[in-house]
Amino acid sequence: MKKVSIIIPVYNSEKYIEKCVKSCMEQTYGAIQILLIDDGSTDRSGEMCNLFAQLDNRITVIHKENSGVSDARNVGIVKADGDYITFLDSDDWLEKNAIEFMLSEGEHKDFVIAGMSRYDEQGRKKLSINIPGQLNCETQKQVASALFAWKDFFNYRGPCAKLYRRDLLIRNHVFFDSKLTFGEDTCFVLKYMEFVENSIQCDCSVYNYRIYNSAEKHGRYKTEDVEYQWRNGFVLYESRVNLFKKIGFYNELKDKIDALYVERIRFFMNICVSNHCNIKDVIAKLKRIPQEIDMNAIKGRYVLHPLDKLILFFCKHRRYKGLYCFFVCKIAVYNRLVH
């Protein structure tokens, strides 16, 4: 019977941790290990973790000094003893059949990708559901091709609602980069995919994600450091390029891969404009684009996201101020609609 290790980084989560842990304890699949990595919590989270361990011998608690969610997850990977690993944030929770479902769907697969539902802060109102289309991939090329469809890529950006083979993680030294404060989740997934021979996307939601306004949860998205965001965007783009190079499909798929650069600009603009970064600094970075890539060589038919098609137009004509103003309007409209 395959064993699954559920890794839960915990930091000041006393308000939500009980629902999170109980959702693991109540799984319909019994062969699990629940790893609670207390990352130097200053509230009652650490004490609560100890109490949970007394109730269920499948729970292991590790207390450590605070060093961030990436380090906490890495400790979990090393300490896990399951055949598979999955990640769960301490303010979220799993469906009762999450592990059983993913294992039954992904038996003999290197990678299992499922969907997630988003709830309000109280965990009551369902806000949205993101579910991958059912897709069974038998080759590395098929696995990686999902990254070209922007709707599919959304499901690969975070580490949760997935099953990973622990032996592949350990053998290939796949860990979270603790130096990154944004995009480390995606980089971890992309690095793992370099070693995945087959995968399955499951058209079912197994993970419940809680959305709330918290300075701790969202503070890392707030920055006026334009240079930092420019580098961050490049790391995400380069991670996908490296994946295709590693599996030997870069030359064959170069036109499609080059088109992914446009998404890097969308990421950069969304963060910078949302944080009211200095327009001169943002435009100065956009002017560096021709030094990195020939935008005129990017073929529009491979740019799939509607917004990216507009970005490509602005960049090809070097209308960087116009691009900035467009994002100001776009974000203003979005904020008006959601608030």
Mean pLDDT of the chain: 90
The reported pLDDT for the residue numbered 215 is 45
State yes or no: pLDDT of 217 exceeds 50: no
Same domain, 99 and 205: yes
> Could you tell me the two tokens for 201?
């996307």
**Interval 170-180: pLDDT, tens:** 999 999 998 87
Total domains present in the chain: 2
Residue 214 has pLDDT above 70, yes or no: no
Examine the pLDDT at 213 and tell me if it is beyond 70. Answer: no
The answer to whether the CB of 203 falls within 8 A of the CB of 131 is yes
Residues 180 and 276 in one domain: no
- Is residue 309 scored above 90 in pLDDT? yes
Residue 281 has pLDDT above 60, yes or no: yes
Residues 210 and 268 in one domain: no
Give the DSSP H or E segment for 46.
helix 45-55
Both tokens of 122, joined, read 């109280």
Same domain membership, residue 183 and residue 270: no
Lowest average pLDDT, out of 26-35, 89-98, 167-176, 261-270, goes to 261-270
- The number of helix segments (H) and strand segments (E) in the chain equals 16, 10
Do residues 211 and 233 both lie within one domain?
no
- E runs forming strands in the chain: 4-10, 32-39, 59-64, 84-87, 93-94, 111-119, 126-130, 135-137, 162-165, 199-210
Task: pLDDT band for 211, please (50, 70, 90 cuts).
Answer: confident
If asked whether residues 334 and 281 sit together in one domain, one would say yes
Q: What is the pLDDT of residue 179?
A: 84
Across the range 27-43, mean pLDDT stands at: 97
pLDDT computed for residue 216 by the predictor:
47
Same domain, 187 and 274: no
Whole-model pTM: value is: 0.88
- Are 87 and 203 in the same domain? yes
Q: Are residues 210 and 269 in the same domain?
A: no
335 has pLDDT over 70: yes
- Quick check: 243 and 194 in contact, CB under 8 A? yes
Domain end point (choices 188, 203, 218): 218
Residues 59 and 126 in one domain: yes
pLDDT for res 219: 45
Last residue of a domain, one of 218, 240, 255: 218
Whether pLDDT at 311 is above 90: yes
Which of 218, 237, 265 represents a domain boundary (last residue)? Answer: 218
Q: Which domain range does residue 241 map to?
A: 223-338
Residues 162 and 110 in one domain: yes
Same domain, 241 and 203: no
- Specify the CATH number for the domain of residue 103: 3.90.550.10
